[in-house]
Copies of this chain bind each other. A is one copy, B any other.
Amino acid sequence: MNAQLHYNKIKGMNLSIDASRGKPDAQQTALSLGLLDAIGDCPPSIINYGGPDGIPEMKQLFADMLGLQPGEIIVGGNSSLTMMFDAVQTLVQSGLWQSGKTKIICPSPGYDRHFAICQHLDLEMITIPMTPAGPDMDIVTSLATDPNVGGIWCVPVFSNPQGYVYSAETVKALAALKTANPNFKILWDNAYAVHHFRGLRPQIPCILKECETHGHGARPIIFSSFSKISLPGAAVACMAGSPSGLEVFRKRLAIQAIGPDKVNQLRHVRFFKNLHGIEAHMQKHAAILRPKFELVAKMLAPLPVTFTDPNGGYFLSMETAPGKAKKIQTLCKEAGVLFTDAGATFPYGQDPADTNLRIPPTFLSMEELEQAMEVLCLAIEIA
């Protein structure tokens, strides 16, 4: 049966598979259900107001996970996305960045929600290429000479959507970067710090220490979260940086909030205990995720596309022939399989060559994933 006939047959099956977002699957979240009963005895200080930046034990857990000091951590609510939005809003409101004027460097393909924040707050985005070692630093270096260029988005470990890991050279170059704008910020979204599912945990230099070496301590704003370690939506997020880098955020936080949910922090501390507990837990995630990524790679291998085959994270990135990504995504959609919109991985939703698609293998069961990939493969052949 040729691809078109096969596609038509599947289209007639009225599939409805959502492969558009990088959610963990039910097996993964089941691993953390014990969290809900992990609270036990709750000291009075935990169940009343106070402690604007988190309980010491949770700061320690994040610090161990990210290679930072507890004093460098502000523990927040359930979402690092919300902390990122708020950080950018703070930079705008405080005048360190200016709506309608400040430009942000966006290595692309990248995370659609980073770009949406910039667009919502009217910060111009400059699309630049990603390489397997991180953003193209020649271009970054050149752009940073413009005083209106105020920062860069980075997903340093298992980048969204490629799953690339920044090289030590890239991290060091970002820290050393000469910027015309004194308020240049590195928005360092370390969402997948412990999310390797093959091999060892990637080791990259600490962006904060590297920046401090060059006298740029206020430059990095680090974000991380347990969203894809414990329970998405019911997890704990943090931001981190140097005292000078965090000052503008701490000042705002004192007005903005009485404090985060300390009970949920204590739950996480008691459930995971320490970095070893996190790592052991993530090995169970790895066992669930590895076969899914392998299935996707196996099915894409014979086709006229290139794709990344990462060792961790939640996505892989596929490059089609020029001008084909939108068509492929639409064909999938018409057959009942929803992928992230083509273009969504670029600022303003515009993929100049129309070649990139983001594939999140995590949420679907192996059976659904195989079905979704079958449709994708047929769509590639047809397109």
Contacts and interface: CB of A to CB of B under 8 A. Distances in A.
Interface string A274-310: 0000000000000000000000000000000000000
A3 interface: no
Copies in the complex: 2
Interface in A29-62: 29, 32-33, 36-37, 39, 42, 44, 46-50
A44 B21 contact: no
A254 to B, nearest CB: 8
Nearest to A92: B93
Interface residues of A, number: 49
Contacts of A117: 255-256
A258 B26 CA distance: 18
A337 to B, nearest CB: 19
A159 interface: no
Given A36-B42, A44-B29, A48-B29, A120 B234 contact: no
A256 B85 contact: yes
A101 to B, nearest CB: 15
Interface string A1-39: 000000000000000000001011010010011001101
A128 interface: no
Nearest to A33: B42
A81 interface: yes
Looking at chain A's contact residues, the main secondary structure is loop
A351 interface: no
Given A44-B26, A48-B233, A120 B252 contact: yes
Interface stretch (A169-177, A259-267, A369-377): A259-267
Contacts of A44: 26, 29
A255 B46 CA distance: 31
Nearest to A44: B26
A89 interface: yes
A78 interface: yes
A232 B42 CA distance: 13
Contacts of A258: 79, 81, 227, 232-233
A248 to B, nearest CB: 11
A361 to B, nearest CB: 16
B23 A49 contact: yes
A331 interface: no
Nearest to A256: B85
A85 B233 contact: no
B261 A261 contact: yes
A353 to B, nearest CB: 26
A145 interface: no
Interface string A67-99: 000000000011101100110010011000001
A257 interface: yes
Contact of A257 (B48, B79, B257, B262): B79
A116 interface: yes
Given A82-B256, A120-B252, A263 B233 contact: yes
Interface string A175-203: 00000000000000000000000000000
Contacts of A113: 255
A45 to B, nearest CB: 10
Contact of A255 (B120, B231, B257): B120
Nearest to A80: B258
Given A48-B232, A85-B257, A86-B256, 5 more contacts: A49-B233, A79-B257, A231-B263, A234-B264, A261-B264
16 contacts: A21-B49, A33-B42, A49-B233, A77-B77, A79-B257, A81-B256, A85-B256, A85-B257, A93-B93, A117-B256, A120-B252, A227-B258, A231-B263, A233-B258, A233-B261, A233-B262
